[in-house]
Amino acid sequence: MYYDFEARAKFLSFFIPSSLNFYDACKDVAQNTEQIIKDAETGVEVQGGRLGELGMTNGRDISFSGRVYIYHEMPMTTTEVYELLTIAKQHKLDLMFRSYEYIRGRER
């Protein structure tokens, strides 16, 4: 989980390695984001702020932006991407995929 205290927003990022269960793992992330956030924040307190500001902001008081990044090594079919984006939309998520193609494009 990443916190942007200045924007008062948090988002999620996952690395899902190559495996036979890759697609199912992506689906689980899209379908269970609320529980993942709840579990991640259980027993952990994150605070932040800017130098010179009064007080600190608790991570639990920051809204989830809906943005979820999935970094992956497995190639995905157009159908798989569409299905995952459809599931994400049903859960009001902005799902972003980051594959080797994304990395190669960033290196240029």
Asked if residue 34 is part of any domain, the answer here is yes
CB 93, CB 31: distance < 8 Å: no
pTM of this prediction exceeds 0.85: no
Going by the DSSP 8-state scheme, the letter that residue 12 receives in this structure is E
Is the confidence at residue 107, as pLDDT, over 60? no
96 — pLDDT class (breaks 50, 70, 90): very high
| Phi, psi dihedrals of residue 78, rounded to the nearest 5° | -60, -40
Asked if residue 100 is part of any domain, the answer here is no
Asked if residue 47 is part of any domain, the answer here is yes
pLDDT tens track for 39-48: 988 888 888 8
> Residue 44 CB: number of other CB atoms within 10 A?
10
Number of domains observed in the structure of the chain? 1
Asked if residue 103 is part of any domain, the answer here is no
CB 20, CB 31: distance < 8 Å: no
Asked if residue 108 is part of any domain, the answer here is no
Asked if residue 15 is part of any domain, the answer here is yes
Asked if residue 106 is part of any domain, the answer here is no
* Domain membership of residue 16 as a residue range: 2-95
Is the confidence at residue 17, as pLDDT, over 60? yes
10 Å CB burial of residue 40 (0-12, 13-18, 19+) is middle
Asked if residue 24 is part of any domain, the answer here is yes
